[in-house]
Amino acid sequence: MCHVVRVLLLAALCVLGTTSTAAAADGWSVAPFGTGRPSFYVEGVPGTVLRDTVSVTNRGTRPVTVRLTGTGVAVAFAETAVRIPARTRADVPFTVRVPAGSTPGDRVGAIVVRDADGRQGTVRLLLRTGGPELAALTVEHVAVRGDRITYELVNRGTTPLAPRLAVRADGVLGRVLDRAPRTLPVELAPGSRLKLTEPWPDPPALDAVDVRLTVTAAGGAHDTAHASARFVPWGTVAGTGVGGVLLVVTTAVVRRRRRRGADERASQAVGTVDTAEAPQSPTWKPELTGAPT
């Protein structure tokens, strides 16, 4: 990564004439090292350390001191503060570490260079993380609360998901709710959890039900979760009799346990997102090379 730059007047003129730069102020500019690159692009799998070099050129007649920082993507520079003599270019190496556990996709950041007067130059940096794509989705914490069903969706894979939901509820005397699969108006990012509510404006007045939520998404993601609920009109219990209510509840519990033993399965728990690791500082030093006026 740290190449020796030979001071050649003709070569320097070509480099400075063709490189796309971000001018911060009269006299100095910043650009990717080399020629023909308008921005930085780095790509690797999680855990990879990626290296590149940024060039700051001082075309002025006085020295300039600049500070280098990274935004959006964790960057470690060989030097964060560099003094550049007049008519000189400083090539500053830096590293970007792709965090372990990162999901595939693009992250946009920038290399920002500022001088002592607050003027700055910026070069865009795109980090692309590679790796296998995995679709995994779970539905959790299902509960019936009056006229609604609450639940949580968790994306346990490495790709964004647009989940589909199907709702079913079986009571003592048969099915009381049956909603075909439909796409929810949400998008789940990898590792995200979302609390949602399914309205149920007309639940039964007297019943013991087993509610089943089934979620699916592209790539084979699939999960099912259950919840039980008892609907009892307590205002009419005195006229109906406690024994009748207990009979309904007991029958429902027996039927629900048999059904659950036949079709309930364990929720998926595949893939997690780790926190990002800070990139390690490179050991090499920035190089100063002569530049023409």
pLDDT of residue 27: 87
Q: Where are the domains of the chain?
A: 9-131, 137-263
CA distances in angstroms from 26 to 2, 18, 62, 87, listed in the order given: 28, 18, 11, 13
Residue 79 pairs with which residues in a beta bridge? none
Q: What is the pTM of this model?
A: 0.51
User: 90 burial class (0-12, 13-18, 19+ CB within 10 angstroms)?
Assistant: buried
pLDDT at residue 18 is higher than 50: no
The answer on pLDDT for 11 being more than 90 is no
Q: Nearest Cα to 122, choosing from 192, 174, 70?
A: 70
Q: Which long-range contacts (CB under 8 A, 24 or more apart) does 79-85 make?
A: 79/285, 79/286, 82/56, 82/286, 84/28, 84/56, 84/57, 84/58, 84/288, 85/58, 85/288
Greatest distance between any 2 Cα atoms in the chain = 103
| Beta bridge partner(s), residue 212 | 168, 226
**pLDDT tens-place string over residues 173-206:** 999 999 999 999 999 988 899 999 999 999 998 9
> What mean pLDDT is reported for the chain?
79
Q: What is the mean pLDDT of residues 4-18?
A: 33
No. of helices (H) and no. of strands (E), the chain: 3, 18
Is the predicted pLDDT of residue 254 greater than 90, yes or no? no
Architecture of domain 9-131: Sandwich (2.60)
pLDDT (0 to 100) of residue 129: 85
- What distance in Å separates the CA atoms of residue 171 and residue 278, rounded to the nearest whole number? 54
pLDDT, position 100: 78
CATH class of the structural domain 137-263: mainly beta
**What is the three-class DSSP state of 240?**
helix
Element (H, E) at 197: strand 193-199
Instruction: State pLDDT tens for residues 67-109.
Output: 999 999 889 999 999 999 999 999 999 999 888 777 777 889 9
pLDDT at 244: 55
- Which 3 state secondary structure label does DSSP give 263? helix
